[in-house]
Structure 1
């Protein structure tokens, strides 16, 4: 029996719908902290459900304010501690309950400086990207292990040494593209609260705002993985800031 690409895609989407996850632990220089200690918990009925534009869960889309740190996360900000870190520290955001990223797609990390404290900050200011990764090996399967994120339990990254001191939100995100061909890219993300010390005088940018960083018509969130390997040339969002003066607004 022969199956069309659309039938196979639909079957795969059904099979992977249960492979959902959420971030709940901050890793600092290799040391894993407690679940929810520094990462704001969301208030979804099922905390592991993704955000989508189509066939939404909890009526949340990437066009809503809660796309900053996930549904209801700001209501838990005051219960969440703020971790003091050094500029240049190696951080990670780890998935809860022993999960790994079993969806094909890119990963990225953003930061946004709080006007006062991270606990008091909704994330309505400017965000800049400090890390991204897409396809790591184009000789592997684009449906799974070609992606840098595949089967990983955390997103690991380095805070730029040039980052100015202050309190920040750190937003880790993974985008599942298995349903993107049908307008159903899945966004998994949470925010940690940190205080940066020993930093520099860099100017982070380009910057974006959440919501607004992504549009549902963007090619990179409508990318089909169902036709075999092909380049995923642009990861959603602005360019990565690695330090120094940067520039312009990316909205």
Structure 2
């Protein structure tokens, strides 16, 4: 019996030492400092959540406890979430706790987030080429996991939830055997996004109904024969354009009208609601001048040719001045 008790104690100690929680956030490589209970809704300890019906599955035990600060980051920034076990830079999480790392975003709420408000923005599971899990890469990278804020994300306040799912006991479902089951390590960070984007997250995923004990990414035999892994939840959401559309004031370019032999070129500028069109200017040939008279011309023999306009044409007028003989 003594042997059994000692063995159980060691097993429990090993299990506790394997757990993890979030320490800080980096924005484009800049450390934002210890975020525990500052901008991270930190749980009281690093224990996992296994009950899919619990609201703790969303933002962990203190998920409904809003904190005082926000991490500010522009849309399109690279964020790094830093995980640790007991001390910054320690072993992060036990190597046996292999599994995916998934990141979601939701509009900011002071509540626990247990509703249909979440949108998946990043995920990493099992790399079939290297045979490495996301958790393996997290440990190699000193507990840091990078992802990119969507470039077109609208400015505002959000919750970003990143979770580690440990699969070392997921060969049985928690609702069947409460001693076993997939282990979830969720953490929610308060983020204030800046920029001029217009895209909003609208996937509306609910963890308590969207994750089920029969999901192949949650009920999974890590020690069996497998060649791939299906990450639970929806697909990564495809956000809309990366920047707002700037309206133009015109719908067409100006058209240069070629001149005729008697008129100059004119530039026709279209309005914002009409298209420019090329037009042809029609002119009439000027009237022939009067036939000259032999001898010295008098004023009565002078005539003026008036050039007609394009529409309507002006007649040629001959002006005769009387009383000017002998001049």
TM tier, smaller: 0.7 to 0.9
Question: Is residue 23–residue 83 contact of structure 2 (8 Å, CA) maintained in 1?
Answer: yes
**Aligned 1:21-60 pairs, distance under 5 A:** 21-35=20-34, 36=36, 37-43=38-44, 47-52=45-50
**In 2: Cα distance, 1:229 partner to 1:14 partner:** 30
1:189-238 Cα deviation digits (max 9, x unpaired): 11000111104222434330232231112121011111244211x21111
| Partner in structure 2 of residue 235 of structure 1 | 231
**In 1: Cα distance, 2:151 partner to 2:162 partner:** 19
Question: Is residue 26–residue 38 contact of structure 1 (8 Å, CA) maintained in 2?
Answer: no
**In 2: Cα distance, 1:122 partner to 1:217 partner:** 25
**Cα distance, 1:136 vs. partner?**
1.9
1:105 correspondence with 2:104: no
Report the aligned-residue RMSD: 2.4
**In 2: Cα distance, 1:207 partner to 1:17 partner:** 34
Cα distance change on mapping 1:139 and 1:109 into 2, 3 Å: closer
| Partner in structure 1 of residue 55 of structure 2 | 65
Question: Is residue 165–residue 198 contact of structure 1 (8 Å, CA) maintained in 2?
Answer: yes
| Partner in structure 2 of residue 220 of structure 1 | 217
**Cα distance, 1:86 vs. partner?**
0.4
**Cα distance, 1:66 vs. partner?**
2.3
Structure having the higher Rg: 2
1:148 correspondence with 2:134: yes
| Partner in structure 2 of residue 135 of structure 1 | 126
**Cα distance, 1:130 vs. partner?**
0.4
**In 1: Cα distance, 2:182 partner to 2:161 partner:** 18
Cα distance change on mapping 1:66 and 1:163 into 2, 3 Å: same
**Cα distance, 1:243 vs. partner?**
1.8
**In 1: Cα distance, 2:204 partner to 2:59 partner:** 17
Unaligned runs of 5+ in 2: 1-10, 174-180, 242-327
Count the aligned residue pairs.
212
1:3-55 Cα deviation digits (max 9, x unpaired): xxxxxxxxx99955531101131111112222213211113xxx111111xxx
Task: After superposing the two structures, state which structure 1 stretch, 170-179 or 152-161, moved more.
Answer: 152-161
Unaligned runs of 5+ in 1: 1-11, 53-60, 141-145, 246-251
**In 2: Cα distance, 1:199 partner to 1:109 partner:** 23
| Partner in structure 2 of residue 170 of structure 1 | 160
| Partner in structure 2 of residue 6 of structure 1 | none
